[in-house]
Amino acid sequence: MRQRILLLSAYQADSHAWWTGWLQQAFPDTDWRLLTLPGRHFRWRIRGNPLSWLDEIATASQGVDRILATSMVDLATLRGLHPALAAIPTDYYFHENQFAYPVGPGQRPSVEPQIVQLYGALAADRLLFNSEWNRSSFLDGVAALLRRMPDAVPAGIVERLAPKTAVVPVPIVPPAPGRTSRDARLILWNHRWEYDKAPDVFADAVIRLAESGHAFRLALLGPRPHPPPPALSRVVDALGDRVIANGRVPRGEYDALLHRAGIAVSTAIHEFQGLGMLEATAAGTTPLVPDALVYPEQYPAAYRYPPGDAAALADRLAAWLTSAPPLPPAVDAYTTEALRPLWSQIVGRSALPRSAGHSSG
């Protein structure tokens, strides 16, 4: 009989949608029962998904062999409201963790999303992370939270969770070989224009780069809020004549720009895997990333700069524009071809190593 898996994605943002779609395409012999909720209203969504699914979950879970839920799912509450779910083996997949997610402007720190993920981790049979940084920052965050708890703290929580963990990245599909020639002076930004990607650091760096007399072009991709954020407006106002693309573009055009660009830049203060940078690197673009977060396990030191330092970023870009950027590092370990066997073990409920060992130095 076909294995039946209930796939729960409570915050179906772009990367989450790619992941759920890939699983269904890669393992068509599995009977996938998919429940999702739109990737918006985060605070309501992470706490309210058991209520949103109150009348659907019993039907969707009927006869399933396994549950695969993202860490946006309030798994402990779901199991409490629907006790039959507690008997079904469950994997809890962390695209991110709330212990290492930066608080944005105008937001107040809240322990509640962290508690949701901690209770979910305790309720699940296995905890899967898309990077070692994600795994370690989650466990460190749990330990820090418990140190803040004033009393009645149970012993050994991290020690109970750690043996259940494994690192299993979301796979990327390298863009098909392009017909566009490489432009070593084209700098690519392919991230959201939001606070957690620190676009102000990027804006400061490229404006400084232009003021120092360097010739370059810009492809400003990725979703952006309305009205445009100040960082994007600053770049366009100061360097509009250098911008060859500005906005979300169709996939074919996006892939062509990945093949055309010489350098892809990240200034993120939050990155648990960084699919956009991995895709650009797989297409042959040289990455330049902060020396923090997930990046040290993916890219050697030559491709990293001090995090948050716009002057250091501008200096590195200037050096690469003067003498050409180094060849991009290999990221073959993150492709669908490399990761499908590991995900096959997840889908087939095989034993997994504690870490998948995806490190480039």
Residue 353 lies in a domain: no
Which range of residues forms the domain containing residue 288?
183-333
Strands 31-38 and 304-305: unpaired
User: Structural domain tally of the chain?
Assistant: 2
Domain-embedded: residue 11: yes
Residues 230, 137 within the same domain = no
Assess whether 102 and 187 both reside in one domain.
no
User: Are residue 143 and residue 59 in the same domain, yes or no?
Assistant: yes
Extract the runs of DSSP E, i.e. beta strands, from the chain: 4-12, 31-38, 66-70, 90-94, 126-129, 165-167, 183-190, 217-221, 243-246, 261-265, 286-290, 304-305
Q: Which residues contact 337 (CB under 8 A, 6 or more apart)?
A: none
What does each of the 361 residues of the chain score in pLDDT, given as a tens digit? Answer: 789 999 999 999 888 999 999 999 999 999 999 999 999 999 899 999 999 999 999 999 999 999 999 999 999 999 999 999 999 999 999 999 999 988 777 777 789 999 999 999 999 999 999 999 999 999 999 999 999 999 999 999 999 999 999 999 999 998 888 777 899 999 999 999 999 999 999 999 999 999 999 999 999 999 998 888 999 999 999 999 999 999 989 999 999 999 999 999 999 999 999 999 999 999 999 999 999 999 999 999 999 999 999 999 999 999 999 998 999 999 999 999 999 999 999 998 766 655 444 443 3
Q: CA nearest 304: which of 352, 267, 355, 350?
A: 267
Where in 165-238 does DSSP place strands (E)?
165-167, 183-190, 217-221
165 plus 261 within the same structural domain: no
| Distance, CA of 166 to CA of 82 (rounded, Å) | 27
- Position 180 scores a pLDDT of 77
State how far the Cα of 102 lies from the Cα of 122, in Å rounded to an integer.
23
pLDDT score for 352: 64
Question: Which are the contacts of 90, defined by CB distance < 8 A and separation ≥ 6?
Answer: 66, 67, 68, 69, 75, 123, 124, 125, 126
Is residue 329 domain-shared with residue 315, that is, in the same domain?
Answer: yes
Does residue 223 sit in the same domain as residue 343?
Answer: no
H or E element in which residue 99 lies = none
The phi, psi pair for 304, rounded to 5°, reads -120, 150
> Do both 142 and 189 map to the same domain?
no
Residue 354 lies in a domain: no
CA gap 79, 100 in Å, rounded = 26
Q: Could you tell me the pTM of the whole model? A: 0.94
Distance CA 57, CA 85 (A): 9
Q: Is residue 356 part of a domain?
A: no
Question: How many of the other CB atoms lie within 10 Å of CB of 24?
Answer: 14
Which residues sit opposite 183 in a β-bridge?
261
Q: Give the three-class secondary structure for 248.
A: coil
Q: What's the pLDDT at 295?
A: 98
* CA neighbor of 112 nearest in space, from 40, 16, 44: 44
| Shared domain check, 313 and 202 | yes
CATH number at residue 245: 3.40.50.2000
Query: Tell me, what amino acid is at 142?
Result: V
12 phi, psi to nearest 5 deg: -85, 70
User: Domain check: are 200 and 142 in the same one?
Assistant: no
